Chain A
Amino acid sequence: MYRLISLRYDSVLENIMVKLQNLPAVEQGDLDLQWTREMVDRYFGKNLRQCIQCGNCTGTCPMSDQMDLGPRKVIAMVREGMKDEVLKCNTMWICASCYECAVECPKEIKITDVMYALKQYAQKAHTVPHGVTWPIMSKEFFNLVKKHGRNRELILMMLVVLKTNWLRGLELAPMGIKLVMQGRLTLIEKGISLGTRKKGNLKTILDAIQD
């Protein structure tokens, strides 16, 4: 009995050794531990290194089935410094910011805020994957708020649909027309006093924030 078990153990071990030899080598230079350090030092990164890979985040995430990599994997990869792979994935663009992961995490890692940071890194590095609409939506929103101080829903919707998938515009058109007729989508909306006065000038405030 003892010999049978030890034989089986040997072949399993041999199997593992063969597989390990066939893995692509990860050079020390491929990992960006400086980037990990940067993430950990930011306000949300305090417990990042304490992740126990329990998977609560991916389990409670309502969008995880549509992500390349679930939040659990992303946190592990951020911790290991796999910057290139993380910035290329679609995870942060599918994230709906519902904070379910952050409240369920037993180590209280602010995962949603990690996702926001990854969105910003990916935009700066130009590694946004093809086919996700959030980067375009948020950029148009950002521009509208910069220009008017407030959002303009109808214009935002039209811009996003034209820039991403205008066929979807045809699909959404009946709903859009109904909303316009109900007065829930309008072209003209009141903005704020952006450039006229010094006190509380929005442009002054935003320009004063430097990275």
Chain B
Amino acid sequence: MKLIYFPGCCKFGTGRVYEESILPVFDALGIEIVELADWNCCGATAYMSVDEPKAFALSARNLALAEDQFPDMEKIHIVAPCSACYLGLLKAKHMVEENEEIGRKVINALRAADLDYKGRVEVRNPLDIFANDYGIDNLKKNVKRPLKGLKVACYYGCQIVRPYSEFDNHGNPQTMDRIMAALGAEPIDWPHKTRCCGGAQTWSSENCLKLNHIILKDAMANGADVVATACPLCQFNLECFQSQIRAKFQPDIKLPVTYFTQLMGVALGIEENKLGMDRIFLRPSFV
């Protein structure tokens, strides 16, 4: 199966480590991917706060580009690692297909630029691809350096499982936990797998520091050695504000926060620095 890769916030900026770690993992597993050409920002939560109809068109342009660039594919699977991009594209797809007014407006706008949307696109999350398409058993076979004794707090964040629970339960998802178990690690049971980290409000205002404190302290209290995330904004929030959380709430908060793909890469035998481990604030230690 060939996947279309939508980088979004994972290519540059604070989230670049996500792309740096996911591409070698795709390669090591033999999953063929090709980047969507000329992709644009999905809009995330910010664009929709300013202009909702345009936000759907902004996201839908990517879906239409995929249909245009791969005319021979009957079903196009776009994989969007960033959670906000995943939800942005998925929501645009649902709105255009299910709501007549929005669908009409957006498709007319796409046609004005010689594009069209026929519904051939599926929006996928990498967790779903690895655990379900590639398969847990196949993953186990590829493990070269089992993550023995590593207690992982799997943090999904909110937008992968809400409002659309396409591949996992929104209260207590298990996909990342299954992947971590397959890699030899010990996923812990903890209550905040999908509790919001504050998203883009954590850096732009001071409201959300508390949310990150709650997540980190409960991960630590449940014995986690590392938090594995699936969203660049979650990873940034949980990792980069720990010094402020120490100053304001709890002086012993200290926990490495990585992308789940970095942990996958280590288990698959890829060199740590090729997975962006030198670009995060706190490196977890592996046996």
| In-complex Cβ contact of A206 among B15, B57, B115 (8 A) | B57
Q: Are B204 and A164 in contact (CB under 8 A)?
A: yes
- In whole angstroms, how far apart are the Cα atoms of A171 and B106 in the complex? 42
| Complex contacts, A183 vs chain B, CB 8 Å | 16, 279
Binds A, one of B34-42, B147-155, B180-188: B34-42
Which of the four size classes fits the interface of chain A?
35 or more
- In whole angstroms, how far apart are the Cα atoms of A210 and B101 in the complex? 12
Q: Are A208 and B52 in contact (CB under 8 A)?
A: no
Which residues 147-191 of A have a CB within 8 angstroms of B?
149-151, 153-154, 157, 160, 164, 168, 171-172, 174-175, 178-179, 182-186, 189-190
A134 at the interface (CB under 8 A from B): yes
Which residues 183-211 of A have a CB within 8 angstroms of B?
183-186, 189-190, 192-193, 198-202, 204-206, 208-211
Q: Are A202 and B61 in contact (CB under 8 A)?
A: yes
| Complex contacts, B244 vs chain A, CB 8 Å | 171
B65 at the interface (CB under 8 A from A): yes
Known: A43-B101, A96-B201, A204-B113. Contact between A179 and B240, CB under 8 A?
A: yes
Binds A, one of B73-81, B157-165, B222-230, B252-260: B157-165
- In whole angstroms, how far apart are the Cα atoms of A164 and B201 in the complex? 13
Q: Are A145 and B41 in contact (CB under 8 A)?
A: yes
Number of interface residues of B (CB under 8 A): 68
| Complex contacts, A52 vs chain B, CB 8 Å | none
| Complex contacts, A199 vs chain B, CB 8 Å | 68, 113-115
SS class, residues of chain B in contact with chain A: helix
Which of B38, B199, B208 has the most chain A CB atoms inside 10 A of its CB?
B38
| In-complex Cβ contact of B53 among A150, A172, A209 (8 A) | A209
B46 at the interface (CB under 8 A from A): yes
> B201-223: contact bitstring with A at CB < 8 Å (1 yes, 0 no)?
10111111001000000000000
| Complex contacts, B279 vs chain A, CB 8 Å | 182-184
| Complex contacts, B106 vs chain A, CB 8 Å | 209
A82 at the interface (CB under 8 A from B): no
Q: Are A99 and B163 in contact (CB under 8 A)?
A: yes
Binds A, one of B6-14, B23-31, B134-142, B267-275: B6-14
Leading 10 A-B pairs by shortest Cβ distance? A98-B196, A99-B162, A208-B109, A153-B13, A141-B46, A98-B158, A138-B49, A138-B46, A133-B205, A204-B113
